[in-house]
Amino acid sequence: MKGLTWLHRRWLYRLTRAQGRNVRVWAMRRLGFEIGQDVYVGPNLTMTVGYADKNIKLTLGDRVSLGPNVTLILATHPNNSKLRSVVKFPPRRIIIGEDSWLGANVVVMPNITIGKCCIIGAGAIVTHDVPDYAIMAGVPAKQIGTVDKTKLTLPTGHF
C-alpha cells in the first residue's frame, strides 16, 4: 500500500464490495494484499481497516473462496472512547491457506491463520487459528470434522 494516499485506499476498499468478483480481487491486490490465483470473493465483503493504516496484512492462498457477506476484521480499536488509552491493539493480519472455503456470513477476527483445505461453515466466528484440513462451525467456531485428504483433486480449469 506504499505510495497510495488515504483517499485512494478508501476508494479501493469500497471497490472490494463492488459487483463482480474480478473487481473485488483486483482492488484487494492493488491495496497490497497477497491474493493467490483463482481466488473467489463473494459479494459484500467487509474488511475493517483504517484507511490510513499501512501495517495490515491479508494473505489469501490459491483457490480460496469467500462466500457472500464475509467479514475480515484486520484492525479494530475503541475509536474515541477512554478505553483507547488502555486497550492494546491486536496484530493486524489474517492468513487464509490455499483451497480454503469460508461460507456466507463468516467473521474472522484479527491475528488469525486458517490452514489449507479448510471449510468454515456459514455464520461461524473464527476466534482462534484453524489447523489444515479442518471443518469448523459455530459461534465461536469449533472443529466438527476434517476434510478427507484422499478425495482431494485439483480443479481442471478456471471458473
Q: Is 77 a catalytic residue?
A: yes
Query: How far, in Å, CA of 117 to CA of 88, rounded?
Result: 32
Summarised one tens digit per residue, pLDDT across range 20-61 is: 667 888 888 888 899 999 999 998 898 887 655 667 899 999
Q: What is the value of pTM for the model shown?
A: 0.82
User: Where are the alpha helices (H) located in 31-111, listed in sequence order?
Assistant: none
Choose the catalytic residue: 8, 77, 128, 158: 77
Query: How far, in Å, CA of 1 to CA of 64, rounded?
Result: 22
Task: Kindly list the structural domains of the chain, giving each domain's residue range(s) and its CATH number in brackets, ordered by start.
Answer: 6-150 (2.160.10.10)
Summarised one tens digit per residue, pLDDT across range 78-111 is: 667 777 777 776 668 999 999 999 999 999 999 9
